[in-house]
Amino acid sequence: MAVIERPREKLSTLDGVNLMFDIAASCLGLKESMRQLLRVPYRQIQVEVPIVNDAGELEVYTGYRVQHDGARGPYKGGIRYHPTANMDEVRALAAIMTWKTAVIDVPFGGAKGGVMVDPRRLSARELEALTRKFTQRLGDFIGPYRDIPAPDMNTNAQTMAWMMDEYGRRHGFTPGVVTGKPVELWGIRGREEATGRGVWLALDEAARQWDFELQDARVVIQGFGNVGSHTARFLHEAGCRIVAVSDVDGGIYNPDGLDIPDLIRAKNKGIPVPAYRDPDARRVSNEELLELDCDVLIPAAIAHVIDLHNAERIRARIIVEAANAPVSPAVDGILEGRGIRIIPDVLANAGGVTVSYFEWIQNIQMQAWDEDHVERELERKMRQAVRHLMEVAEKENVDMRTAAYMIGIDAVARARQLRGF
């Protein structure tokens, strides 16, 4: 087996994904031609998204959609609105979706989209105009059997409702074109909290295998958006002690544990995390928060927040990647050498796309599942994927991230081969 050294240098998100691809492809002994096929995305789309703002002025944004691989099914992945969204990052995130759908075994390929915009600066009307225009510009590159967007960073069920409506203007009623829709509009109960529920299930199953006691474990969560806040709730309900959380404005730390239900109520009222009143808590910056002494660290915000500058100072015993690519693969070895275990993104946050799959099934069959059924099926898929991944990691003597990429790449390469070229 060719050993690929992990460079000790700062990598972009795309470099990190490509490095992991090379490592896992080498472990699998994948042919060079197949490597090329799986490394390069199938299609990269860049569009101009002009809108008229509330002041009557023209504003022009740039939108991206990358369809990485569709051998196992329609392209699938979220759409994010972020000031730093760019083609390379979207490309990395699209590849992550390809491996994620294969690891959790849902019949989709991988895609990702983004618009370079700071959504906090836009009114609801402007956001609607932006979403509709972006949907128009994506045209027939999306569709229920072609490419199915979903929410991601700074987008939500409302965004998906606008996308579905805009797509429907040209194609008629087509709820299966997007997932993560409002429950009143052909969405599925349990989708909103699905990623957070999946993070909890992944950790719970891994903890069982490791004989690691989750009861009263000290948990730190970076990011208190959809994923972070629901993860906090599930872990709190499971008996963990959530000692610190943060949002983009900063965080709070209380070694005795934070009152998570109350923090969520405050968040829903629009109160930023650092402005939350807890007399026993102290404020921490996002950087400090990552370095707090804890049992479980859950980065649930942006990419590569754990990198060469702080890897030596991380004091958690387990890192669960609720965000996409929050740990640079350049530091996996440093963390592992210090005895820190990582549950990788392609497994840890796969609950979202799994319930997206359930939503899509409902939509194309014009059926409705009840919430218990969604929860049971999600739990079954998450626990099964964790056990399978741990078996592969042990058998191949690799870390969990390498094992996840090996499972994903192997499944996609087989599908490609079977389809023929």
> Annotated catalytic sites, by residue?
112
Supply 307's token pair: 């990198």
C-alpha 327: how far from chain center: 13
Which listed residue (222, 286, 324, 362) binds ligand GLU by CB under 6 A?
324
Residue 316 near residue 344 (C-beta atoms within 8 A):
no
Query: How many residues bind to ligand GLU according to rule CB under 6 A?
Result: 12
At 85, the amino acid letter reads: A
Contacts of 359 (CB under 8 A, 6+ apart): 179, 180, 181, 186, 187, 188, 191
Closer CB to ligand GLU, residue 356 or residue 362? 356
Closer CB to ligand GLU, residue 174 or residue 254? 174
Report, in Å, the least distance between residue 112 CB and ligand GLU. 7
Report, in Å, the least distance between residue 178 CB and ligand GLU. 9
Residue 121 near residue 156 (C-beta atoms within 8 A):
no
DSSP state of 191: S
Span interacting with ligand GLU, options 10-18, 22-30, 213-221, 348-356, rule CB under 6 A: 348-356
Closer CB to ligand GLU, residue 101 or residue 291? 101
Which listed residue (67, 159, 231, 349) binds ligand GLU by CB under 6 A?
349
Closer CB to ligand GLU, residue 152 or residue 291? 152
Closer CB to ligand GLU, residue 70 or residue 77? 77
Which of the residues 118 through 177 are near ligand GLU (CB under 6 A)? 150, 152
Give the three-state DSSP class for 334. helix
Give the three-state DSSP class for 184. helix
Contacts of 269 (CB under 8 A, 6+ apart): none
Report, in Å, the least distance between residue 377 CB and ligand GLU. 15
Which listed residue (353, 403, 404, 406) binds ligand GLU by CB under 6 A?
353
Contacts of 378 (CB under 8 A, 6+ apart): 190, 194, 197, 198, 201, 351, 354, 355, 358
How far apart are alpha carbons 381 and 198 in whole angstroms? 9
Which of the residues 40 through 99 are near ligand GLU (CB under 6 A)? 76-78
Which of the residues 173 through 212 are near ligand GLU (CB under 6 A)? 179-180
Which listed residue (63, 113, 223, 352) binds ligand GLU by CB under 6 A?
352
Q: Does 13 bind ligand GLU (CB under 6 A)?
A: no
Span interacting with ligand GLU, options 81-89, 249-257, 349-357, 400-408, rule CB under 6 A: 349-357
Report, in Å, the least distance between residue 145 CB and ligand GLU. 15
Closer CB to ligand GLU, residue 104 or residue 258? 104
Measured at CB, which residue is nearest to ligand GLU?
78
Residue 196 near residue 226 (C-beta atoms within 8 A):
yes
Report, in Å, the least distance between residue 261 CB and ligand GLU. 25
Report, in Å, the least distance between residue 76 CB and ligand GLU. 5
Which of the residues 354 through 413 are near ligand GLU (CB under 6 A)? 356
Taking the CA atoms of 344, 13, 25 and 35 in sequence, report the sign of the dihedral they define: positive
How far apart are alpha carbons 354 and 375 in whole angstroms? 11
User: What would the DSSP string read from start to end of 94-121?
Assistant: HHHHHHHHHHTT-S--EEEEEEE--GGG
First to last CA, the chain: 27
Closer CB to ligand GLU, residue 328 or residue 354? 354
Span interacting with ligand GLU, options 166-174, 305-313, 347-355, 370-378, rule CB under 6 A: 347-355
CA distances from 316 to 199, 335, 342 (A): 17, 10, 10
List of residues contacting ligand GLU (CB under 6 A): 76-78, 150, 152, 179-180, 324, 349, 352-353, 356
